[in-house]
Amino acid sequence: MSEALVEVNHLKKYFPITTTGLFTRTIGQVKAVDNISFRIRAGETFGLVGESGSGKSTVGRTMVRLTDKTDGEIKFKGIDLYNTSHAELRELRPKMQLIFQDPYSSLNPRVRVGDAIGEALLDHGLVHKSEVRDSVLETLALCGLSSYHIDKFPHEFSGGQRQRIGIARALILKPELIIADEPVSALDVSIQAQIINLFRSLQEERGLTYLFISHDLSVVEHLCSRIGVMYLGSMMETASRDDLFRNPQHPYTKALLSAIPIPIPKLKRERIVLRGDIPNPANPPSGCKFHTRCPYALELCKQQIPELRNVGSDHYVACHLV
Ligand code: SF4
């Protein structure tokens, strides 16, 4: 089994809630990420799933230091990213790239796509100016785009092509880890499949490691080898894809899986409908955060936070009943 490329230990990210006015003061905290731990092995695709507001995107942004952590540790290749020199961090940055759901928002409409893809190479001083165009052309081809796209502007591309541009911008830096945050959510189903296939072929070719963040378990099923399920900033279950889909243990995971449509009309799956909405992360429920919506909640669940416990090979569940 390969070693961990990434280790996230007891990560917390709290956002302060402040009053407005002349003298601002902190009156509370939104616990977007609340003490989560996981590992990603070199060459694997780890999926992070959960409803909107579960904190999964904040995990990704904290890992590449787009936002600072509140507590905990993030290690990349054994190096603590929050406790290393500026020079070392600068060297590591190209190796960890983030791809967003909407690459269009991060592209300057007045900058040609070739320049947008190549600029990071120059920023990081990775190649001489004279070599940038060749690198861009090579990366465009890898991402299924043509050489004539190099001089086009972002508005001339379709949604799927823009996501290919987003992938090319990350890929040109020769990263080892790509964090893809809902990269196919805004695309049509047929285009989603093409982009997922592109992620897969790039992984085979380049030996990439992915953290794939999505609210859609059926998308994650196609790409990920291991999956973590988040709810309200906490990790509820982690397991291999096969284990999670065949033998889910946490009531929240079971509810998420029951909502996936089955393509065969004759087969019916009993849908578990969760009561209520996801609670306010500024005021999360006591004990197990899922107890307000869990059909099996006990009195104990309101009082005691369940620990993430091993229930079999590489399968971890945070539930008092398991
Ligand atoms: Fe439900 Fe209790 Fe398990 Fe939480 S700990 S998922 S409330 S049974």
- Among 229, 294, 303, 322, say which to mutate for ligand 1: greatest number of ligand atoms within 8 Å of CB: 294
CA-wise closest residue to 315 among 230, 205, 226: 226
Which residue lies with its CA nearest to atom 6 of ligand 1?
319
Q: In Å, how far are 135, 142, 158, 185, 277 from 171, measured between CA atoms?
A: 10, 9, 20, 20, 38
**Residue 278 beta carbon below 6 angstroms from any ligand 1 atom:** no
Cα-Cα-Cα-Cα dihedral of 244, 95, 2, 225, to 10°?
20
Q: What is the DSSP string of 21-61?
A: SSS--EEEEEEEEEEEEEEEETT-EEEEE-STTSSHHHHHH
- pTM of the predicted model, to two decimals? 0.91
Q: Report the separation in Å between the CA atom of 319 and the middle of ligand 1, taken as the mean of its atom positions.
A: 5
**Residue 173 beta carbon below 6 angstroms from any ligand 1 atom:** no
Q: Report the separation in Å between the CA atom of 92 and the middle of ligand 1, taken as the mean of its atom positions.
A: 40
pLDDT of the residue at 178: 96
Which residue lies with its CA nearest to atom 7 of ligand 1?
291
CA-wise closest residue to 76 among 30, 42, 110: 42
Q: How far apart are CA 218 and CA 296, in angstroms?
A: 25
Which residue lies with its CA nearest to atom 3 of ligand 1?
319
**Residue 309 beta carbon below 6 angstroms from any ligand 1 atom:** no
Beta strands 45-49 and 226-231, pairing class: parallel
Q: Report the separation in Å between the CA atom of 31 and the middle of ligand 1, taken as the mean of its atom positions.
A: 20
Q: Phi then psi for 101, rounded to 5 degrees? A: -65, -45
- In which element (H, E) is residue 178 found? strand 177-181
- Among 230, 236, 256, 288, say which to mutate for ligand 1: greatest number of ligand atoms within 8 Å of CB: 288
- At a CB cut-off of 8 Å and minimum separation 6, what does 48 contact? 56, 59, 60, 211, 212, 213, 214, 227, 228, 230
Q: Report the separation in Å between the CA atom of 274 and the middle of ligand 1, taken as the mean of its atom positions.
A: 13
CA 93 to chain centre: 17
Edge-to-edge strands, sheet with 79-80: 26-41, 4-18, 71-76, 79-80
Tokens in use for 232? Answer: 């309200």
The dihedral built from the CA positions of residue 119, 120, 121 and 124, taken in this order, carries a sign that is positive
* Per-residue pLDDT of the chain in tens (322 residues, 90 and over written 9): 567 999 999 999 999 998 887 778 888 899 999 999 999 999 999 999 998 889 999 999 999 999 999 999 999 999 999 999 999 999 999 999 999 887 777 788 999 999 999 998 988 888 888 899 999 999 999 999 999 999 999 999 988 899 999 999 999 999 999 999 998 888 888 888 999 999 999 999 999 999 999 998 888 998 999 999 999 999 999 999 999 999 999 999 999 998 877 666 666 667 877 888 888 888 999 999 999 999 999 999 999 999 999 998 899 999 999 8
CA-wise closest residue to 167 among 180, 155, 177, 158: 180
Task: Give alpha helix (H) positions in 152-298.
Answer: 159-171, 189-206, 217-223, 241-246, 251-258
**Residue 28 beta carbon below 6 angstroms from any ligand 1 atom:** no
**Residue 167 beta carbon below 6 angstroms from any ligand 1 atom:** no
Q: Phi then psi for 208, rounded to 5 degrees? A: -75, 155
Radius of gyration of the chain (CA): 21
**Residue 293 beta carbon below 6 angstroms from any ligand 1 atom:** no
Q: Report the separation in Å between the CA atom of 220 and the middle of ligand 1, taken as the mean of its atom positions.
A: 24
Q: Phi then psi for 55, rounded to 5 degrees? A: 100, 0
Q: Report the separation in Å between the CA atom of 38 and the middle of ligand 1, taken as the mean of its atom positions.
A: 21
Q: What is the pLDDT of residues 178-232, one digit of tens each?
A: 999 998 888 888 888 999 999 999 999 999 999 999 998 888 998 999 999 999 9
Question: In the predicted model, what is the mean pLDDT of the chain?
Answer: 91
Q: Report the separation in Å between the CA atom of 244 and the middle of ligand 1, taken as the mean of its atom positions.
A: 17
pLDDT of the residue at 2: 61
The dihedral built from the CA positions of residue 154, 157, 158 and 162, taken in this order, carries a sign that is negative
Which residue lies with its CA nearest to atom 5 of ligand 1?
319
Q: In Å, how far are 27, 56, 84, 117, 164 from 30, measured between CA atoms?
A: 10, 14, 27, 35, 34
CATH numbers and ranges of domains, the chain? 1-218 (3.40.50.300), 225-322 (no CATH)
pLDDT of the residue at 294: 94
- Cβ(295)–Cβ(250) below 8 Å: no
**Residue 48 beta carbon below 6 angstroms from any ligand 1 atom:** no
Q: Report the separation in Å between the CA atom of 185 and the middle of ligand 1, taken as the mean of its atom positions.
A: 29
CA 266 to chain centre: 34
